[in-house]
Amino acid sequence: MKIRNIELKYGIFLAPMAGVTDICAREIYRSHGAEYMTTEMVSAAAVHYGDKKTLEIAQISEKEGLCAIQIFGHDVQMMANAARVMSQLPSPPCAIDINMGCPVKKIVGGGDGSALMKDPVLAGRIIQSVVDACDIPVTVKIRAGYDRQHKNAPEIAHIAEECGAEAICVHGRTREDMYINGTVDYDIIAKVKQTVKIPVIANGDITCGADFKRILEYTGCDGGAIGRAAQGNPFIFEEINAYMQGVPYTPPSRQRRIRTALEHIRLMVSTKGYLGVLESRKHAGWYTKGLSGGAEIRNAINKAESLQQIENILYSALSIRDSEE
Ligand SMILES: Cc1cc2nc3c(=O)[nH]c(=O)nc-3n(C[C@H](O)[C@H](O)[C@H](O)COP(=O)(O)O)c2cc1C
């Protein structure tokens, strides 16, 4: 698949996740085979007011390969301005992604995220203004619709294409269903694909190589985006790559999982200092899910106050052999 001149082999995307897919996680995901990634969402209003933390979220490292910056907001001028600023950063993104899918109350209540799907005219004005404001491709992330009575993803996708968007990512649930209720609606994703000519990326509940292939085959989509299944599990990208190549895949051993957790946490602490120690707790929780002794490891890491303490905990967890799993 191709987004302008960006060519991807299988269309394996990392879905944006606020509080998860930061610069460190993305470096890890990339090294395990994610082909294209997106930052956590960046507030257009915060860019407008020059918020420093926001510019940190938008930082992209050279090691990441292809990475888009996602912006959210509902003010046409602020969204255009944010896109302009983001596309001109010293390490610019490969694309600007517009968030029209976030279901969180705080975001939707402000008229942002999936609230925009209720107002196709405003959605179109925003997409058009962002396209006009930057030279790089603009993509849009949407849901099936706002609620089950209004599954208007094909309409919004059509508007996005008309306004110059160059790819669409669709999560196959409505805002009403958040990320968990019911099943992902493959049919609405397929309808979006049939409605537009630009690439469509399917999203929702992809947890393995077989899921990835199934959703692409059913919907005809050009790629698939993986969210929660990547938490503490960068290996999913290796697995999907192997599945698509048709080669056998061996799941990571306990040792490899722990060593990767160590690598990820070291990167977080070297990048963010003490904040990295605190933020690494949730990643450690995900990496150790299902490991024998995992609960003890998590309890200990949740109390750790330094990288050295976390390293010691994980080193002693390494000493349990795989055969004990
Ligand atoms: C913790 C968390 C944070 C998320 N943050 C964002 C975000 O910033 N922008 C966005 O478009 N979607 C966000 N999402 C939605 C994901 O990109 C994705 O659509 C969703 O998790 C469904 O895919 P999955 O079933 O593979 O997890 C978030 C999801 C989670 C679980």
Q: Which domain holds residue 272?
A: 254-324
**Sorting pLDDT into bands at 50, 70 and 90, what band is 319?**
confident
Task: Give the CATH number of the domain where residue 219 resides.
Answer: 3.20.20.70
> Which of 193, 137, 138, 195 has its CA nearest to residue 170?
193
Evaluated on CA atoms 219, 223, 229, 231, the torsion sign reads negative
pLDDT at 313 over 60: yes
Q: How high is the pLDDT of residue 135?
A: 96
**Distance between the two ends of the chain, CA-based, in angstroms?**
40
Provide the whole-model pTM: 0.96
CA neighbours closer than 13 Å in the CB half-sphere of residue 261: 36
Q: Does the Cβ of 179 fall within 6 Å of ligand 1? A: yes
Q: Are 79 and 116 within one domain?
A: yes
Q: List, as one string, the DSSP characters of 243-303.
A: HHHT----PPPHHHHHHHHHHHHHHHHHHHTHHHHHHHHHHHHHHTTTSTTHHHHHHHHHH
pLDDT at 214 over 80: yes
The count of domains in the chain is 2
Q: Are 176 and 313 within one domain?
A: no
Q: How high is the pLDDT of residue 187?
A: 97
Q: Map tokens 């698949």 to a residue.
A: 1
- Closest atom of ligand 1 to 40 CA is 8
Q: Are 165 and 193 within one domain?
A: yes
Q: Are 40 and 118 within one domain?
A: yes
Q: Where does residue 193 fall: left (phi above 0), alpha (psi -120 to 50 degrees), or beta otherwise?
A: alpha
Taking only the tens place, the pLDDT of each residue in 131-174 is: 999 999 999 999 999 999 999 999 999 999 999 999 999 999 99
Q: Are 58 and 167 within one domain?
A: yes
Interval between CA 15 and ligand 1 midpoint (Å): 6
DSSP summary character for residue 9: S
Q: Does the Cβ of 19 fall within 6 Å of ligand 1? A: yes
- Closest atom of ligand 1 to 113 CA is 11
Q: How high is the pLDDT of residue 203?
A: 98
pLDDT at 83 over 70: yes
Is residue 102 part of the annotated active site? The answer reads yes
Q: Tell me how far CA of residue 102 lies from CA of 17, 71, 84, 90, 201, in angstroms.
A: 10, 11, 22, 28, 16
Q: How high is the pLDDT of residue 324?
A: 52
Q: Atom 19 (ligand 1): residue with closest C-alpha?
A: 171
Cα dihedral 50/130/18/46 (nearest 10): 20
Q: Are 216 and 116 within one domain?
A: yes
Q: Are 207 and 280 within one domain?
A: no
Q: How high is the pLDDT of residue 176?
A: 87
Taking only the tens place, the pLDDT of each residue in 242-300 is: 999 999 999 999 999 999 999 999 999 999 999 999 999 999 999 999 999 999 999 99
Q: Atom 29 (ligand 1): residue with closest C-alpha?
A: 17
Task: Give the CATH number of the domain where residue 293 resides.
Answer: 1.10.1200
Q: Does the Cβ of 139 fall within 6 Å of ligand 1? A: no
- Closest atom of ligand 1 to 228 CA is 27
Q: Are 215 and 266 within one domain?
A: no
pLDDT at 322 over 60: no
Instruction: Report the chain's mean pLDDT, rounded to a whole number.
Output: 95
Structure tokens at 292: 């024998």
Question: Are the C-beta atoms of 197 and 161 separated by less than 8 Å?
Answer: yes
Question: Are the C-beta atoms of 142 and 157 separated by less than 8 Å?
Answer: yes
**Sorting pLDDT into bands at 50, 70 and 90, what band is 53?**
confident
Q: How high is the pLDDT of residue 24?
A: 97
Q: How high is the pLDDT of residue 325?
A: 52
Q: Are 175 and 79 within one domain?
A: yes
Residue percentage of the chain with pLDDT more than 90: 91
Q: Which of 224, 245, 266 is the last residue of a domain?
A: 245
Interval between CA 204 and ligand 1 midpoint (Å): 9
Strand 6-7 and strand 2-3: the pairing is: antiparallel
**24, 67, 94, 102: which is the annotated catalytic residue?**
102
Q: Does the Cβ of 206 fall within 6 Å of ligand 1? A: yes
- Closest atom of ligand 1 to 99 CA is 11
Q: What is the mean pLDDT of residues 208-227?
A: 98
Q: Which of 245, 272, 301 is the last residue of a domain?
A: 245
Residue percentage of the chain with pLDDT more than 70: 98
pLDDT at 323 over 70: no
Taking only the tens place, the pLDDT of each residue in 33-48 is: 999 999 999 999 999 9
Q: Does the Cβ of 18 fall within 6 Å of ligand 1? A: yes
Q: Are 199 and 289 within one domain?
A: no
Q: Does the Cβ of 54 fall within 6 Å of ligand 1? A: no
Helices 186-195 and 209-219 pack at an angle, to 10 degrees, of 50
> Which of 35, 41, 45 has its CA nearest to residue 96?
41
Q: How high is the pLDDT of residue 320?
A: 63
Q: What is the mean pLDDT of residues 59-78?
A: 96
Q: Are 87 and 235 within one domain?
A: yes
Q: Which of 212, 245, 278 is the last residue of a domain?
A: 245
Provide the residue type at 159 as one letter. I
Residue 311: count other Cβ atoms within 10 Å of its Cβ. 15
DSSP summary character for residue 207: -
Q: Are 283 and 158 within one domain?
A: no
